[in-house]
Amino acid sequence: MITRILINKSPAFEHLELHLHHGFNVLSGISGSGKSIFLHAILSAFGLKEPNAALVEIHLKLDLQSLGICLEDFGIASEMLDSYDELVVSVLKKQNARYFINNQAISKKKLSEIAHYFIKYISIKDGNELENDYMLHILDALTGQKDSQFYPILEDYKQTFYEHKQCKIALQEIEETQKNIENLKDFAQFEIDKITKIQPKPGEYEKLMHDKKMLSKREKVMETCHRALQELDNLDSAHKALELLGIDNTHFFANIMEIRGHIENGLNDFQNLDIEPEALLERIGELAEINRKYGSEEAALQHLAMQQEKLKEYEHITFDKKQLEKQYTQLTNKLTELANILHQKRIAMLPAFIEQLNHFATQLRLEAVTLEQTQTQPYQYGIDMLHIYLATKQKNVLSSGEYNRMRLAMLCVAASCNTHDTGILILDEIDANLSGEESEGVAKLLQFLSKPYQIFAISHQPFMPLLCDKHYLVSKGEGHISTIKLLNKKERIKEIARMISGSKLNQHALSYAEKLLQQQEKS
């Protein structure tokens, strides 16, 4: 519920700070006093209307858990206070509007998504109360009250529906794959054959490039090495000369022998280089193609293993499809069986739903309301679809007054069967253009709904002020600045008298208003 609202610089309110109460709150006042602007400000703070004030700040308490709201899902960190969340929602408008929850910025879209969990605005032909899902939710609540097996069956159906949907997706994926299975198998086999034929070995390309380099300089190396050995042989005379002169030539001779050994070993390597140039170049070309496509010999071998595994999977896909088809058939049969059970249980409870709906519709001076239950393809809640009619008229041809009174009747049925619908209900002159009896019926139903809902309603007729918990007067003062005041009993009588008799109050009107209020308080 909203506990406090602050409005700064709106078309009607220069500065307004108001503490609000649970239950049935009614705003009255002369036309143009700013009542609708006040409700507009509330809705704008939640992103449901465009802001018309520089600042709107709302303090509220909500049981987020029971409403199914997780603020973290919307990027807002929440702190729990007992079982309730105390939130501050605000909209700040300068050049652009900026929205906040607990001083954390949030987009208008996300804020309005959160608000739709607990705010119902009845002014135009919108809302979901006359839509299939909402009506089915009420029918199920009524059925669950009478039949303890209903909700376990419904939960079993929902789980089966989910499994059936996932199985269908998996089967479609296999069928899509199967359309291209031969191409996929051919491609996998082609790559397997290609890599297997070449049989790359890790590091082979690098070794062959080394061999190619050696082969390219083989003749020049051998010629140079033979010439060097001949020149080393000619150094024997230098060795003998040093001996005859008595000069120590040990190191000289050792170095010459070491050099000769290196040259002879290198020459031997090149003489034993048994490589066919054409075969070498062909092999290098094959490996170069492998490396270009896969990155390396190791990567090619990994890809080979992967393709071999894929080929096995492709060969087993027919078996997998048969298993899924069997599972899909079993789930389809179970889904159909559960849906038919739910269908029959709902059929049995539908007359009671219609009876309750008409109980409230009668108070609103509406014609008879009927509900038609039809079947459709299985979906999240079964195979049932509900269609609502006022006499023979479909909801899309109803007047705004009829449509909104039907919504109120549906909300009352939901409240009476304890569907845990709670929140804030905002109504902007819902009793406009209604007869006295119709307006009284609306007021009585709002009084009934004020237990689960905090209600804010604007009215120019006396019935809502007579039945409400708190009555606020919206007045326009100097400079067209409006104020809102919570009325005491005496002020309330005066305002009700004005609504009955007009601006010219007399003692008779005041006495009549006091009598009506006293009668209501006693009842």
373-408: pLDDT as tens digits: 999 999 999 999 999 999 999 988 988 888 989 999
**Which range, 22-31, 149-158, 172-181, has the best average confidence (pLDDT)?**
149-158
72-86: pLDDT as tens digits: 888 887 664 444 578
> Residues 6 or more apart from 174 whose CB is under 8 A from it?
317, 320, 321, 324
Percent share of the chain, pLDDT over 90: 46
Per-residue confidence band for 191, with pLDDT thresholds at 50, 70 and 90? confident
pTM of the shown model: 0.70
State mean pLDDT over 403-429.
87
What gap in Å lies between CA 129 and CA 74, rounded to an integer?
25
249-271: pLDDT as tens digits: 777 777 878 887 887 787 777 76
pLDDT above 80 (res 136): yes
pLDDT above 50 (res 455): yes
pLDDT score of 222: 74
**Which range, 60-64, 272-276, 293-297, has the best average confidence (pLDDT)?**
60-64
What gap in Å lies between CA 260 and CA 272, rounded to an integer?
18
**Quick one: CA dihedral 456, 461, 463, 468, positive or negative?**
positive
pLDDT score of 291: 84
Per-residue confidence band for 119, with pLDDT thresholds at 50, 70 and 90? very high
pLDDT score of 100: 94
C-alpha to C-alpha distances, 293 to 272, 290, 296, nearest whole angstrom: 34, 5, 8
Asked if 320 contacts 174 with a C-beta cutoff of 8 angstroms, the reply is yes
> Residues 6 or more apart from 90 whose CB is under 8 A from it?
45, 55, 56, 57, 58, 99, 100
